[in-house]
Amino acid sequence: MNKQFLPRIPYGTRDFLPKEAKQKRVIENSLAVLFSRWGYDEVVTPTFEYLETIDVSSGADFGENLFKFFDNTNSILALRPDMTTPMARVAATRLKETNPPLRLFYLTNVFRHEQAQAGRQCEFYQAGVELLGAPGASADAEIIALAIESMRQAGLKDFQIGLGQVGFINGFTEEVAVSTLERQRIKQCIVNRNLVGLGEILTASGLDRETQNIISEIPLLHGGEEVISKVYKVVKNAVSREALDNLADIHRLLTSYGVGQYVKFDLGLIRDFDYYTGMVFEGYTPGLGFPLLGGGRYDNMLATFGVDSPATGFALGIERIMLALERQGITPSNVSKDLYIAWVEGAQAEAISLAAKYRQDGRTVELALAAQQPAEVETIKLAGQYRDVVYVKDNHAK
């Protein structure tokens, strides 16, 4: 080995130093409290699963983005790329015993082997909830309202929710005579808002002009309630209309939750994962070029685990919240410690019991590890790292 060994950390991983780790903990704790208050119970699942579990259920093609390895029987394992699959797996077994709905939440790290982005390394932290066994707009509205509450709870002031419905787009692509491949390509262009590519595919598709025009407008159907009523007039197919009704229902409930003002309809929103079957949404905030959170309804996933049950939920990126707070200049509350206890030679025992007393009272106490001179204690006072400094001398606490 070299004389000077410089340890590296693997690509796509990071350390959280005390200040960041503390901020992370504060955010996570407040989210855990919030989720509990809404009646959600925490679940912890294994960090890795059998590859087949992830493959079979996700529909999201994680493919080469998985971290894979073998166990001692040569079965292939993979680090969980998201929590939706493990939660669905757990819920499928639980749902057989419990009456729906089931409200679950998690706070954990997930792993995806991909190009690291702003606030997303290959290992990153997610908080999320799943509401299982409940179809309908009430469950979807609860999930969205809770997502909005999470962003507020984390300290963000300025944010927006984009709300779409995959049924809206499916209604078109299923109705019109296009091949599966074309349908896939049209969807991909809508996901990426590749308007140029979408135009090219539609021109080559041989669809009638009117349909082409409507489909090419989908990525631009964005705005308040007026969008829904405007679109409703032009859309004739039943599936798309049902999707619009669903969105209108959800929005009405969100107004009752008092969060309607945060929501913008975005009918081009379908998200990258194929497993969504109903409403989908994302959360955005200024200064961060990536969504902070995303979620939606995925009614078919649990069936792959043997329980046919509707499901809806969302996941939020902890690091992205931290980055957004930093970019928006929202600093975490004062991180200084309450108390430093210094002591003179012979007063250590007393200092220890004093520290214990303060800690009992719930104060943050750092205890000196050696006797200190008055000058040293003065320096510590001046450094301002502690709200208060106590100097224990000759049996008389100052």
Q: Which residues bind another protein (CB under 8 A)?
A: 117-118, 158, 160, 162, 192-197, 199, 220, 222-223, 264, 266, 282, 284-291, 327-328
By beta-carbon proximity to another protein, the closer residue of 114 and 242 is 114
Q: Single out the residue of 64, 69, 108 nearest to residue 85, CA to CA.
A: 108
List the 396-397 sheet strands across, edge first: 365-367, 337-343, 386-393, 396-397
Smallest distance, another protein to C-beta of residue 61, A: 16
Cβ contact 222:264 at 8 Å = yes
Smallest distance, another protein to C-beta of residue 101, A: 30
By beta-carbon proximity to another protein, the closer residue of 287 and 346 is 287
By beta-carbon proximity to another protein, the closer residue of 135 and 197 is 197
Burial class (CB in 10 A: 0-12, 13-18, 19+), 238: exposed
By beta-carbon proximity to another protein, the closer residue of 150 and 309 is 150
By beta-carbon proximity to another protein, the closer residue of 101 and 291 is 291
By beta-carbon proximity to another protein, the closer residue of 278 and 291 is 291
Other CB atoms within 10 A of residue 89 CB: 21
Smallest distance, another protein to C-beta of residue 351, A: 47
Smallest distance, another protein to C-beta of residue 73, A: 35
Region of 226 please: left (phi>0), alpha (psi -120 to 50) or beta. Answer: alpha
Assigned token pair, 210? 């009117």
By beta-carbon proximity to another protein, the closer residue of 291 and 310 is 291
Smallest distance, another protein to C-beta of residue 192, A: 7
Smallest distance, another protein to C-beta of residue 229, A: 18
Beta pairing class for 386-393 and 365-367: unpaired
Other CB atoms within 10 A of residue 56 CB: 14
3-state secondary structure of 362: coil
Q: Which residues pair with 222 in a beta bridge?
A: 266
Cβ contact 215:186 at 8 Å = yes
Q: Is the peptide bond before 46 cis (omega within 30 degrees of 0)?
A: no
Q: Single out the residue of 260, 316, 300 nearest to residue 166, CA to CA.
A: 300
Smallest distance, another protein to C-beta of residue 251, A: 17
